[in-house]
Every structure is written in structure tokens, then in C-alpha cells.
Amino acid sequence: MKFIVALIALIVAVNAVTIEEATEKWNVFKTTHSKQYHPKEEQLRFTIFQENLRKIEEHNAKYESGEVSYYFAVTGFADLTSEEFKAMLNSQMSTKPKMNNTNRFVVDPEADVPDSIDWREKGAVLPVKNQGNCGACWAFSATGALEGQIAIKNGKQQSLSEQQLVDCSTKNGGCDGGWMDWAFDYVKEHGICSEDSYAYLGVDSGCKTSCDTVLSTISGYVDVDANEKSLQEAVGTVGPVSIAVSASIEWQLYGGGVFSLFLCNFEQVNHGVLAVGYTDQYWIIKNSWGTSWGEQGYIRLIKGRNECHVSDIASYPVL
């Protein structure tokens, strides 16, 4: 009987969105996300949008029936095909960096690691930002970890410049991708400026020679061993940690709930984000796709099975 009810709900959901409703949602989408298209492209994008609405309705019918633990919503990527979204992600982190850092996080059996923590509640996490069409997730992840350490150590919230890292961190590829460790290398050598004095443009630009320096240097960074126990201790005792994940195509329309999709463990790491907390059930992850995505810009990942490679590549700076 439960299966039949779920099947009926699914059939109803697939056919639930009329052309009038789709058009209304499309207009709201364009306004919300400042989307503009040439006339021919708009028809194509609207067709893709309608298909994504169908996916949302179909998936959410499963959510309502309890088959899945997360739901879909109209995000800023609702005008992209799954293939376009995946290509966008895979351009951000295409090759793994050489692991030449000897400073490793050592698990302390005597450490007082909390069962749960949310660094947002402790003032160590700044508002969610939006990387736009630039593949600079690595820069946002790195600044998030740096901002966290400044807040924890100095009791001050200070937004840092992702654009400086995009323009000046030559080990990285700017809007074509990079790695958080290499961003930390740059900050150690050159320091980093405030967001206000080196504003984000979302494109590759020339490296500015002067701005309001917040940190003149850092002492280095620590790489965390690739397991969830180590990541939990690092996040629980140190602060927000930069991590790389495999953001599967299901992230495209993620609206909320605890994300659980074992298939993402078979996909390559392609996106830099920030682990800002955890419970015994899930990780709290800050993204850089604006507040209209996910849970006000965050995603909760199921804990305990290295979901989406959450613990494979993790590091944090040391001031």
C-alpha cells in the first residue's frame, strides 16, 4: 500500500506544474537571479527550467513519502542542464595538488572533542558569499577558514578578499580553479587584504599592488588526515576547516535536508567548501553559491560514511 501511495504521489507531482505556473516561476527566477537572455536562448533556458521543475516535483514527492532525506528547490542553477552543471563544477578542481606539506594534524586521544558544534553560533563564520560564474570556490573556502581563525583568535569578524587570491595566487588558476593549500601558501608569503579594499569581481583581473592588509602573513597551514574522526576533532577543537567535496549533480537543485547520496562517493572531488560544524548525524557545510541555494547557503551532509569525500582533503591555516 505504501508503495502505491508513493507511486500515485509521484505521478501527480510529474504532472503538477502547468505552463502558466512554470512561466510564473520562470519570471520570479529571472528576477531573483538577475538573469537575462537573448530571445532564442531564453526559449532554450525556459525549456530546461521546465524540465528542472519536473525533477523538483518528482524528487520532492519522494521526500514527502520519506524515501529521501533532502528536498529540491529552484536554485540559481535551475536554467542549466545536468551536463552543464557538472561541466561547471569539474572546471574548478581538475587535478589533485602534490601533498608536500609536512605539517599534519595529529589526533589527540585526550582531546576534549565536543559531540556537536556550530561555529556560526560562536561568531566564527561570516555571511555566505557568492562566487558567481567564476570557478573560485577554492578562494572562498580558504578565506572562510582564515576568517574563522581571525574571529576565534582575535574576536573580530573581518571579511577577506577572494579576488586577491584569484588575481595574485599564481599557483592557482584564478577562475579556472585552484586549491586551498596553495591559497594558504600565497597568504603566508604575501598576506591578504580586506574584502572592502580588494572587492570581488568574479573575473580574472590584474593583481593589485596595494590594499588594506588584514594579515601580513600566517605561520602556515595544517593538512588533516583523510578520515572523519580527524576532521571532527579538527573542526571541533580548531575551528572552520577548508574541505574539498564531490558536489554531485544533485547539488544543483538542493533546497534543504540532510544530503545523502552514496553515488557521489564515486565522483571526483570538484568543489571547495567550508566545514563549520557537525552533529552526530551530519556535517554543516558552508557553500559559496549565495543564500538562495540550499539552507540559506549551507548544506548538511550525512555523517559517518565520508559522504561526497567530505574528509578526503581538509586543511586549515595557522595564524
Whether residue 137 lies in the annotated active site: yes
Strands (E), 127-236: 192-193, 213-215, 220-224
Question: How wide is the angle at C-alpha 116 spanned by C-alphas 115 and 119, nearest 5°?
Answer: 140
Q: How far is CA 102 from CA 98, 158, 225, 230, in A?
A: 12, 29, 12, 16
| DSSP annotation of 80 | S
Whose CA is closest to 247, among 296, 292, 193, 285? 285
Q: Look up residue 128 and give its three cell numbers.
A: 555566505
* List 193, 264, 287, 308, catalytic entry: 287
Element (H, E) at 40: helix 39-64
Q: How far is CA 155 from CA 148, 210, 235, in A?
A: 10, 26, 18
* List 59, 264, 270, 271, catalytic entry: 271
- With 0-12 / 13-18 / 19 or more C-beta atoms within 10 angstroms meaning exposed / middle / buried, residue 63 is middle
* List 52, 59, 137, 172, catalytic entry: 137
Q: Are 60 and 71 in contact (CB under 8 A)?
A: yes
Q: Look up residue 250 and give its three cell numbers.
A: 544533485
Q: How far is CA 150 from CA 97, 153, 154, 186, in A?
A: 26, 5, 5, 17
Whether residue 52 lies in the annotated active site: no
Known catalytic residues are: 137, 271, 287
